Structure 1
């Protein structure tokens, strides 16, 4: 059995830890409100841009020389996976969910005879994939999470992906990230960026109408696509980065709340052990005093 001194030290240590986790929970909650508002505000714009480009793409369907961001390279051999994680830990299973989904995708693609490349975003993703998949990593991006996500981060990442596509080094590009649902739930998601695909949710508004809208484009559809597709790539990446930031803060707030509760339970349990041990020591001392007095 631990001594009273050891029990006091353990209780004091856990109390200090509880103060830290409680403070981290409040900081994460404050950041979550801003990050959640940004992520929810970006969703309608990103969805509207996908729908608009879908209509432009439909107008140019069947034409030769379609942009690679829209039609791809015409092959399906080299896949670029871009896992989005945080730079810091202490956020429960937030990062491990992205790691698990990415590894599953890597194994599935390799079993189909495809070549896989990785461009991890976030220090946690880079550290994880450096252990077992270092030969697949072609670049990394760190220092994006943990603060206000600048659009320049998405712009630079979009330019890297576009450059790889134009150079013929990749055929398909897919983002792997946690889609924010609420503070306790983040859904691991794969979103294909290149070639561009329409989500079912984005197609519903157009499919609900029986009339086919006629548009007159100025300049022509091809020129518009050349201008808007790189911008759309950046917007989709930016929306995913915002989802990641909101999910990270939500997961950290939940993890720190659980840690604070567990610390409180540990303190209560150790306090009971401390009181019982102290009472036992007092009882033993009294017995020794009484026994000595009777012996005299």
Structure 2
């Protein structure tokens, strides 16, 4: 059994760690509220731009654009979004594991967003074409625009024939879902059941559909990436808050067990001292 001094030191150390995990949980909870609000604000706009894109492409099946061009997938790129920091449970591990499985199944290059994903694949010698790190807690749209321009240039220049976006979709603080979607070539969203009638109508566009697509498709790419960044950030904060809550609870359990062991050690020491006193007294008689 450990000595009382060692037990006191361990209890003190764990209490200090518990204070840190409590503070990190509170910070993550505050950041999660902000991240949730931004996700909920971004989702309607992303949905609307998908709807407009669907209507234009459905009503003008012959329209063409470089970002709609389908090629044989000889060169594939994966845009991976992870966190810059750890201490968020299995958030990074889950999305990295998904990406690693995809790369092993269909070999390709990477565009990494976040330090954790970049470091993981760099250590293993994967081909990383571009990297974006240090995004911060409040991600500006300019970052999504920069990433979007990078992948669009890769596609238009023929560096890659297919580009996939891999991120974590936010459901709740307890639930985050690793997600993959094809970013390029752009696959126009399918019409919903209630919109089939609208697709058969003749629309008059001003300007022409080709000009609209020239403006709409890059914005669609940027908006999709921006939403994925916001979803990933909210997922990261939710996972961190949950992980720090579990760590705090685990610390409490360990402290309780160590306190019980300390009380037993103190009781044993007192019993030993009493026995020695009684034994000494008996020896004097």
User: Which bracket does the TM-score occupy, shorter chain normalised?
Assistant: over 0.9
How far apart in 2 are the matches of 1:189 and 1:253? Answer: 21
SS at match of 1:138: strand
Are residues 192 and 211 of structure 1, via their aligned partners in 2, closer, same or farther at CA, if it must alter by over 3 Å?
A: closer
| 1:168 matches 2:166 | no
Q: Could you tell me how far apart the structure 2 residues matched to 1:198 and 1:15 are? A: 54
Equivalent residues in 2 for 1:217-296, closer than 5 Å: 217-296=205-284
**SS of structure 1 residue aligned to 2:180:** strand
Structure 1 runs, 4 residues or longer, greater than 6 Å off? none
Residue by residue, what CA displacement relative to the aligned partner does 1:130-172 show, whole Å, maximum 9, x if unpaired? 122x34211111011x411100000000010111112110011
CA, structure 1 residues 226+210, in 2 after alignment: closer, same or farther (shift >3 Å)?
closer
In the alignment, is the contact (CA less than 8 A) between 1:60 and 1:222 conserved in 2? no
How many residue pairs match? The answer is: 284
* Structure 1 spans left out of the alignment, 5+ residues: 111-115
Q: Is 2:94–2:178's contact at 8 Å kept on the other side of the alignment?
A: yes
Separation of aligned partners in 2, 1:44 and 1:191: 18
**Residue 62 and residue 142 in structure 1: after superposition, are their counterparts in 2 closer, same or farther (change >3 A)?**
same
Please give the root-mean-square deviation of Cα atoms over the aligned residues, in Å. 1.5
Give yes or no for contact 2:54–2:189 (8 Å, CA) kept in 1: no
Counterpart residue number, 1:91 = 88
TM-score, normalised to structure 1's length? 0.92
**Is contact 1:21-1:257 (8 Å) kept?**
yes
Task: Give the direction of change, closer, same or farther, for the CA distance of 1:172–1:280 in structure 2 (3 Å limit).
Answer: same
**1:185 counterpart (160, 163, 175):** 175
Equivalent position SS for 1:196: coil
Cα separation, 2, equivalents of 1:162 and 1:267? 54
Q: Taking structure 2 as the reference length, what is the TM-score of the superposition? A: 0.95
Unaligned runs of 5+ in 2: none
Matched with 1:37 is 37
TM superposition shift of 1:198: 4.2
Q: 1:235 to 1:24 in 2, by over 3 A?
A: same
For 2:260 and 2:45, locate their aligned partners in 1 and report how far apart those are by CA, in whole Å: 56
